[in-house]
Structure 1
Amino acid sequence: MTNEEKQKIMRQLGCYARQLLDLRFPTIGSLFEGDRGYYIDKCLSPGHVPEDRGMIEDVPRGPFYDEADYYSSLAIALRLHAKRLPMGHHVLRAPVPVPQEYHDFAKYYAATDRWNDFVALGGMVDSSSNRLQYCLASHLLRNSIIPHMVRPVSQSAPGFPLYHHDISVQNLFVDDDLNITCVIDWAFSSTVPPAQLFATPGLPHPRDLVLDSSLVNAFRSGIETENKNISGGKIEPNYWKAGQMVSRFMRVVNLDALQDYDHIEALYALAGGPVTSGLDRSDTNSVSAILARRATSHDALALACELAADVEPGSEISRREKEYFDAAGAKRLAIARKVAFAAKMNPRFVADGRLWRWVDEVLEYYDRESDAWEIISKEPPLAT
C-alpha cells in the first residue's frame, strides 16, 4: 500500500472518530446489551482485563465518572500486573530493539541477540528489580502524566464517547478504491475520555505508533473536515496534544509496546518535563534520574523486599541462564556481563539502541577480540 493510499484510509478513520465523538454516555466503561437496551458497566477494555488482569480483583474497573479515575485505574492495573503477572518481553530499562534504529537488518538482528543475552542474565524480565521499575513508572504516570492528560468537562457536550479499541487492518473492510465499507469487531468497545478519539490509530496494528507526519495529518484532517460538516467549528488545539499523550500512555499501561521507556520519556516531555532526545539522561530532572531517586525511597525499598520474596528459586534462574548461554556461547555471555556490570554501577543506565550500536562498532573496529573485551568492559559513554 502506498503512502497516499494509507492517507486515504487515515482520513476516513478521522471522519469516523469525529462521528463517534457525538455518541455520548454518562460514564466511562464497556458497552453491554440488556433487556432494556444498551448500557455502560465496568471496563473490559485493554488494560483492565487481557493478559490475565481480569483475575486481579484489585484492579479498579469502574464504571468511572471522570477521566482522572479512568486513567489512574489503568496505571494501577500496570502496577498490579508488574507485581503479580509475567512480564513477557517487557524490561523497562532495556527497550526491545526495533528495525528503525539500525541501518540494516543485519545490525538489527545483532542488536536483538545482544538484548536477548542481556535480559537472560538473572532472569531479568521477571526479576524483582524490573518489576520494581514498572511499579515506579506507574507512580510517575499517576502523579506527573495523568494530570496533564485530563481535559475539563465540556458543558456543551458532556459525557463520554464510544470508542473501538482494535482499529486494525483485519477489522477494516474496503472496496477496490480503498473506501472503508465496514468496521467489525465491536465486542470490546467502550466509552472513553474524548481525547482518546484524537489519538492517531496505529496501523496495521493498534500497538504501532504512527510517527509519519503525513499519516497523522491525514487523520487529523479527517476529524477537522467532519467537524466542520457537523458543527462548523474548530477542534481545540489542546485536544491534539492530549491525543498524542493518550497514544503513548495506552501503549505503556496496556504493555502493548516494545519500548515502554521511550514512551514514558516522550510522555514526560509532553507533560512539560525536560526533553532529553535520548542523547543525555544526566539531567537530574530526567525520567531516569527521577526513577533512580524514587527507587531509594522508604516505600520503594519496602516494595523491593516484597517483590524479592516472590521471585522463583535462584537455582532455577541459574539453570535457565546456563542452558541459554551454553547455546549462545561464552563470547556473548562476556558481553552481556559487561553490560550488566555497567547497569549495576549506574542507576540511570538504559540499555537502548545506542548501547547496542556502540557494542557493534567496538566489535567491528578492533581486530583482536581481547581488545574488544577490554573496551567493552568500560561503561558505554552514551548509555547513561
Structure 2
Amino acid sequence: MASKTQVPPWYSKFNLPALLEHAGQLRNIPCSCDVTQRPQCGSLNWAIFLSFDDGVEWVFRSPAAEEDDISLEAAGELLESEVATMKYIKENSSIPIPNIFDYSSTKLNSVGIPYILMSKAPGTQLQNFRWDPHLLEKGVFPQRQHLGPTQKEKIMQQLGRIVSQLSNLRFNKLGSLFQEAGEYRVGKCLSPAFIFHDRETLGDVERGPFKHDEEYYQALISVFLLHVQELRLQHNVFFAPIPILEGFETSQSRRSAVSRWQDFVKIGGKVDSGKNRLDYCTAGHFLQQMVPFISGGAIGAQPGPVSGFPLCHPDLSASNIFVDGDLNITCIIDWAFASTVPVSTALMTPGLPHPRDGTDPFLDSAFKAWLLTRLTLLDGLQDYCYFKELYTSVYKPVEEVNISALFKEARKDDKLIEIAEELADDEEWAPEILQDEEDYFGVIGKMEKPAGGEKEAALIGIERRAIARKINVVSGLSQDFVADERLWRWIEEMKRD
C-alpha cells in the first residue's frame, strides 16, 4: 500500500503516490513530483507542480486544510463552482484559462483531499512587473521591470476584451455557477462578500440566487451590518483610513505613517470598539438608502439585445494575470469566487495591481458599485474615503460634506439608538484593552532593532505610545477628527524639524 506523504507539513497530508499514479493514468505517461518544492500559496489554496516524462507540467491545487477563514464545506462548494465556471467559459469564449483534467470537491478519493488537476499557466505573473508609478527606495523591493503608459494600455486593452467576453456570458439570476447532470445553473452567491472573514457562519443572511440587482445590493449591506456587529473587524477603523502610497512622497514615509496608524488604533482597542462598530452601522444605514441610486433601474439600464446578469472575475489582480515576454495575456487564473453580477459591477475597470486600487470615476454607475462593494466587503484600506466618495457621487451636495456631522444626526434614528445600546453592552473589558496596549508597545521598539539595544527599544516604545495617546486625546476633542494622511504627514514633518 502506498504511504501518505506530507507536502509540506503545514498544508495538508495526502497520498502523493496515488496522485502521481492517477495523473499518469489520465495521460498514459509517467508522472513525478519534486517533493522539495515549496508549494505556491494563495489566500485559500495551495498548489504544487507535477511533471510528466514528456516535459508537460500540471498544477495540483487544494484548499488549505488549516485555513480558518472558510469551512471545508464552503471550500468544497467553491471548488465545484470554480470548475463549473471554468468549463462554461472554456465552452463559450476564447478567454485564456487553465484546462481542468480532473477534480474532487471532497476528500473521498484516492488522494485523500479535495483538489483540482489543471494545466500550468503559461508565461509569468503580471505582479513580476512594477505597475505603480511611484519611485521606491532601492533595496525595499526586488528590482522589477517598470511598465510604462504604452505597456499598461496594451494590458488594459486586453483585459477590456476579456471583460467584454465575460459580459456576454449572461444568466437570469445573480449568484455562483454550478453544473448538475451536464446542465449549468445559478445557485447561491459564493462571492467574497458572503464568505470571507467568517461571514459564511452568519445566520439570517439571504445568499441568493437573486432575481434583481437591488436584492443583491441589499443582501451585501445586510451581511456587512451583521459582520460589523457580530464578527471581528480585522484592520478596519472607519474614521482612520489606512495610509496608502498615493498620499506620500516616498514609500518610507508611507511605512512610517502605517506604523503611526497602528499605534493610534491600538490605543483603546479602536478596531473592535463599540464606537467603531457603530460608525460602520451608521455607514450601513446610509448605504441602504443609496441602493436605489446604484441598482439597474436607477442608472438608466434599458432592455437590449443582451439581457441578464454577466459573469465576473472578482479578483483580476496582477497575481492572477499571466503574460508572455511581449505582454500578451496568456492566462487568467483563480476563478473560485466568480459569479454573475449586476451590469454596473461588471463594468468596473480592473484595479491594478490589486482590485482595491480603484476604478475610473468617470464610469459613474460602475464607480458607485465599486465603492459600495469595496466598502461592504471590509477588505479595503480607505473605508471612510469610499463612503465619502459614494455619498458625494449619489447626492452631489453643493458644499463639502461633513461625514461626522452626518453620522451624528443619523444616530437619532431609533434603530441606530438600539444598536448603540447593544454594542455598549458588548464592549470589551477595559483592563484587557490596556493589557493589549502594554503588550504591543512593549515589543514595538524591539521590532525596529535599534543600535542601542533593549534600552533604546524601550524608549522607542514609550515615545510611540506617548504620540499615539496625544492623538487619541485630540480625536476625542473634535467631532470632525479624521486620522488621515494629512495627520501622518504633519507628524513626520514635526519629528523632522
Q: TM-score, normalised by structure 1?
A: 0.80
Greater strand share, structure number: 2
The Cα offsets for residues 19-53 of structure 1, whole Å up to 9 and x where unpaired, read as 22222111111111111411001111010111110
Separation in 1 of the partners of 2:254 and 2:333?
35
Structure 2 letter corresponding to 1:184: I
The Cα offsets for residues 190-249 of structure 1, whole Å up to 9 and x where unpaired, read as 1111111210112222222256xxxx9xxxxxxxxxxxxxxxxxxxx9xx2111122222
> Cα distance 1:188–1:326, how it changes in 2: closer, same or farther (>3 A)?
closer
Separation in 1 of the partners of 2:212 and 2:485?
38
Checking the alignment, whether the CA contact within 8 Å between 1:274 and 1:286 is kept in structure 2 is no
SS at 2:428 equivalent: coil
One of 203, 207, 232 as aligned partner of 1:86: 232
Structure 1 segment 66-215 matched on structure 2, within 5 A: 66-144=212-290, 146-152=291-297, 153-156=301-304, 157-210=306-359
Structure 1 letter corresponding to 2:328: N
Segments of structure 1 that go 5 or more residues without pairing to the other structure are 217-236, 277-282, 366-384
Structure 2 letter corresponding to 1:151: G
Separation in 1 of the partners of 2:309 and 2:252?
47
> Cα distance 1:23–1:125, how it changes in 2: closer, same or farther (>3 A)?
same
Structure 1 segment 18-57 matched on structure 2, within 5 A: 18-57=164-203
Separation in 1 of the partners of 2:493 and 2:322?
46
Q: Which moved more, 1:57-66 or 1:287-296?
A: 287-296
Q: What is the aligned partner in structure 1 of residue 439 from structure 2?
A: 323
Structure 1 letter corresponding to 2:474: A
Checking the alignment, whether the CA contact within 8 Å between 2:402 and 2:480 is kept in structure 1 is no
Checking the alignment, whether the CA contact within 8 Å between 2:317 and 2:352 is kept in structure 1 is yes
Give, in angstroms, the shift of residue 343 of structure 1.
Answer: 1.7
2:492 paired with 1:344: no
Q: What is the aligned partner in structure 2 of residue 17 from structure 1?
A: 163
> Cα distance 1:118–1:207, how it changes in 2: closer, same or farther (>3 A)?
same
Checking the alignment, whether the CA contact within 8 Å between 2:359 and 2:367 is kept in structure 1 is no
SS at 2:267 equivalent: helix
2:452 paired with 1:303: no
Separation in 2 of the partners of 1:27 and 1:43?
10
Structure 1 letter corresponding to 2:472: A
Q: CA RMSD in A?
A: 2.1
Q: What is the aligned partner in structure 1 of residue 368 from structure 2?
A: 245
Larger radius of gyration: 2
Q: Which moved more, 1:28-37 or 1:201-210?
A: 201-210
Greater helix share, structure number: 1
Structure 2 letter corresponding to 1:148: F
Separation in 1 of the partners of 2:200 and 2:275?
24
Q: TM-score, normalised by structure 2?
A: 0.63
One of 270, 273, 281 as aligned partner of 2:396: 273
SS at 1:201 equivalent: coil
Give, in angstroms, the shift of residue 263 of structure 1.
Answer: 1.0
Structure 2 letter corresponding to 1:342: V
Point out which structure has higher relative CO (alpha carbons under 8 A, 6+ apart): 1
Q: Which moved more, 1:160-169 or 1:82-91?
A: 160-169
- Percent identical residues: 41
Checking the alignment, whether the CA contact within 8 Å between 2:359 and 2:370 is kept in structure 1 is no
Q: Which moved more, 1:91-100 or 1:167-176?
A: 167-176
The Cα offsets for residues 332-364 of structure 1, whole Å up to 9 and x where unpaired, read as 222222221222222332111111222233333
SS at 1:62 equivalent: coil
One of 346, 354, 377 as aligned partner of 2:486: 354
Separation in 1 of the partners of 2:326 and 2:480?
51
Q: What is the aligned partner in structure 1 of residue 46 from structure 2?
A: none
One of 413, 416, 429 as aligned partner of 1:313: 429
Separation in 2 of the partners of 1:16 and 1:106?
36
The Cα offsets for residues 49-79 of structure 1, whole Å up to 9 and x where unpaired, read as 1111000022221111111111111111111
Q: Which moved more, 1:12-21 or 1:43-52?
A: 12-21
Separation in 1 of the partners of 2:331 and 2:493?
49
Separation in 1 of the partners of 2:417 and 2:494?
37
Segments of structure 2 that go 5 or more residues without pairing to the other structure are 1-145, 445-460
Report the count of equivalent residues. 331
SS at 1:113 equivalent: helix
Give, in angstroms, the shift of residue 275 of structure 1.
Answer: 7.3
One of 387, 394, 400 as aligned partner of 1:264: 387
